[in-house]
Structure 1
């Protein structure tokens, strides 16, 4: 077998693919942050709140 062959790499195509992948990764990260941060918010409750009393069966 003769292994004297060269692979021609088109640098502009490699750059285009890399840019596309980076954009996809950034979009995925934004979606993950946006979906959890805007919907889920902490709620402070005390032991005297009606919902806590109902859960504990004290109402």
Structure 2
């Protein structure tokens, strides 16, 4: 397991609508992956006896 760095926006991309869209997609995907990892760890902890409520997905 490792921490995945947050996607960074290249300042040169500020003039490109396509680059801004790609950055938003990358940022959203990064966040979703992070929360899925949190949910997996939560379910693992619950399966090993910790009293927590975890999302199913």
Q: TM-score range by the shorter chain?
A: 0.5 to 0.7
In structure 2, what is the Cα distance between the partners aligned to 1:14 and 1:31? Answer: 26
3-state SS, counterpart of residue 38 of structure 1: helix
Q: How big is each residue's C-alpha offset from its partner over 1:10-37, in whole Å with a ceiling of 9 and x where there is no partner?
A: 1000000100000000000000001111
In structure 2, what is the Cα distance between the partners aligned to 1:39 and 1:21? Answer: 27
Higher relative contact order (CA 8 A, sep 6+): 2
Aligned residue pairs total 36
Structure 1 length-normalised TM: 0.51
Q: Which has the higher helix share?
A: 2
Q: Return 5+ residue gaps in structure 2 as ranges.
A: 1-13, 51-57
Structure 2 length-normalised TM: 0.53
For the pair shown, the structure with the greater C-alpha radius of gyration is 1
Match 2:35 to one of 29, 34, 37 = 29
